Amino acid sequence: MEQRYWQKEIETMAYEDMRKLQSERLREQVKHVYTHVEFYRKRMDEKGVKPEDIKGVEDLNKLPFVTKDDLRECYPYGMLAVPLKDCVRIQSTSGTTGKRVVAFYTQDDVELWENCCARAIVAVGGTDEDVCQVCYGYGLFTGGPGLNGGSHKVGCLTLPMSSGNTERQIQFMMDLGSTIICCTPSYAAYIGETLKEKGYKPEDNKLKAGIFGAEPWTEEMRREIEALLGIKAYDIYGLTETSGPGVSFECQEQTGMHVNEDHFIPEIIDPDTGEVLPEGAKGELVFTSITKKAFPLLRYRTRDICVLSRKKCSCGRTLIKMTKPMGRSDDMLIIRGVNVFPSQIETVLLNEGYAPNYQIVVDRVNNTDTLDINVELSSEAFSDTVKEVTAAEHKLADAIKTMLGINPKVHLVAPKSIARSEGKAVRIIDKRKLHD
């Protein structure tokens, strides 16, 4: 396949040149925030660091970290680094883990964000001949506006569907011949499931690629979506605090996401000690945005857990790659002292032949944690006898016990009885938090 890039010079830049570019931009950014944001001035003064001390990327670890709580305390204008009149846009987090954070953008900030999304679309084979159906939510959520902007830049015919109204999504997909679809992986699976129910086969649609992100998803889920829709499914990552989707994106290799490191410098740290870990180590992802001007973040702790790698990629891009985040550190459940990520459970379910429709319920009874997993049966399996269902529940519970080391209670439930999500899926109900 002929390689196409959106900004070739950057995407294939030699490592030394990239580091030089990052260093220049970092020096400027540090001066910018020190001068214009009291929060940074105070934090840096407390640490005894002056902007002149930051000469390049190698000095990054002299800077203080910023956390989501800092952003919440600075709400709404405390982190603003330009006059409000220079801002043209706000977006906000989905509020998955608490009070929302509001991010500001200048016109240039919007531009660079959309270029990052355009890189992602071109990397999956997108051109001005494509019909790109964007069914991430539009509005304050960054998914819709980000991919919409990228799709415009590439010159695709853009269908600004937003999420929801699955009937209409399918009608437009079929009538207008969408070739690229962008949404959360859970919504992609739902659209695929609905198409199948309506009697469509994967080859009946014109889709060739999907760009899915905004929530954790497993390799098993990728295969499931690819089979349902008859496409290649690619990952995209981002967060409102650093702009939105497009901070990193997958190429044809489908082995992790290239980070747009000319805009966002990634680091991996030990979440407990804050120590920077070497390439290849698993830890918490930290980003420094070196080009955004309205709402720049230095060393922002994402709480997402992943691994960085500079291994050569067959697509020719030299941008560093990050693995799919396996979940946020605050999504991690500690059940009877064992660390459990929902993605581990998803892997087992899909390997055992179930659809990715499940909910994890954790509670505490008589001072012991309980783990219940509700998993939907397919309509074919639903006709099985009680005896068969009970046997299947035990088999699944055993497979999960092998993965996690703790015993869950599995409940196979009727098809369609677990609520579908049009945005980010709600996988965990932790009732222990209600008792606290």
Residue closer to ligand ADP (CB basis): 27 or 258: 258
CA distance 162 to 371: 35
213 binds ligand ADP (CB under 6 A): yes
Q: Using CB distances below 5 to 8 A depending on partner kind, what does residue 313 bind out of Zn ion, ligand ADP, none?
A: Zn ion
* Span interacting with ligand ADP, options 144-152, 164-172, 232-240, 260-268, rule CB under 6 A: 232-240
Percent of the chain that is helix, strand, coil (3-state, to 5): 35, 25, 40
Q: Using CB distances below 5 to 8 A depending on partner kind, what does residue 317 bind out of Zn ion, ligand ADP, none?
A: Zn ion
Cα–Cα–Cα angle for 41, 45, 48, nearest 5°? 145
CA distance 101 to 71: 7
Strand 157-160 and strand 209-213: the pairing is unpaired
CB 249 within 8 A of CB 258: yes
CA distance 364 to 97: 21
150, 256, 325, 408: residue in contact with ligand ADP (rule CB under 6 A): 325
123, 135, 214, 265: residue in contact with ligand ADP (rule CB under 6 A): 214
- Short-list 153, 333, 96, 147, CA closest to 161: 147
Sequence-distant (6+) residues with CB within 8 A of 47 are 62, 63, 64
Q: Using CB distances below 5 to 8 A depending on partner kind, what does residue 240 bind out of ligand ADP, Zn ion, none?
A: ligand ADP
Q: Using CB distances below 5 to 8 A depending on partner kind, what does residue 93 bind out of ligand ADP, Zn ion, none?
A: ligand ADP
240, 289, 291, 329: residue in contact with ligand ADP (rule CB under 6 A): 240
Counting residues that bind ligand ADP (by CB under 6 A) gives 20
User: In angstroms, what is the minimal distance from the CB of 285 to ligand ADP?
Assistant: 8
315 binds Zn ion (CB under 5 A): yes
Q: Is 98 exposed, middle or buried (0-12, 13-18, 19+ CB in 10 A)?
A: exposed
Sequence-distant (6+) residues with CB within 8 A of 273 are none
Report the site for Zn ion in 236-265 (rule: CB under 5 A).
251, 253
237 binds ligand ADP (CB under 6 A): yes
- Neighbour-count burial for 336-351, b at 16+ CB within 10 Å, e otherwise: eeeebbbbebbbbbbe
What values do phi and psi take at 14, rounded to 5? -65, 150
CA distance 398 to 402: 6
22, 23, 29, 93: residue in contact with ligand ADP (rule CB under 6 A): 93
Residue closer to ligand ADP (CB basis): 93 or 163: 93
Q: Using CB distances below 5 to 8 A depending on partner kind, what does residue 315 bind out of ligand ADP, Zn ion, none?
A: Zn ion
Residue closer to ligand ADP (CB basis): 268 or 399: 268
User: In angstroms, what is the minimal distance from the CB of 412 to ligand ADP?
Assistant: 27
Token pair recorded at residue 236: 């995209």
User: In angstroms, what is the minimal distance from the CB of 356 to Zn ion?
Assistant: 26
What is the number of other CB atoms lying within 10 angstroms of the CB of residue 1? 6
Q: Using CB distances below 5 to 8 A depending on partner kind, what does residue 324 bind out of ligand ADP, Zn ion, none?
A: ligand ADP
Residue closer to Zn ion (CB basis): 73 or 279: 279
Amino acid (1-letter code) at residue 173: M
Cα 232 versus chain centre, distance: 17
215, 226, 346, 422: residue in contact with ligand ADP (rule CB under 6 A): 215
Q: Using CB distances below 5 to 8 A depending on partner kind, what does residue 235 bind out of Zn ion, ligand ADP, none?
A: ligand ADP
216 binds ligand ADP (CB under 6 A): yes
The DSSP call for residue 103 is: E
Per-residue binding string, ligand ADP, 294-313, x by CB under 6 A, is --------x-x---------
Q: Which pairs count as long-range contacts for 95-98, CB under 8 Å and 24+ apart, including other chains?
A: 96/424, 97/68, 97/328, 97/330, 98/68, 98/72
* Span interacting with ligand ADP, options 23-31, 89-97, 265-273, 290-298, rule CB under 6 A: 89-97
CA distance 53 to 30: 10
243 binds ligand ADP (CB under 6 A): no
User: In angstroms, what is the minimal distance from the CB of 53 to ligand ADP?
Assistant: 29
Residue closer to Zn ion (CB basis): 5 or 65: 5
Interface residues toward Zn ion, by CB under 5 A: 251, 253, 313, 315, 317
Q: Which residues lie near ligand ADP (CB under 6 A)? A: 93-97, 213-216, 235-240, 302, 304, 324-325, 328
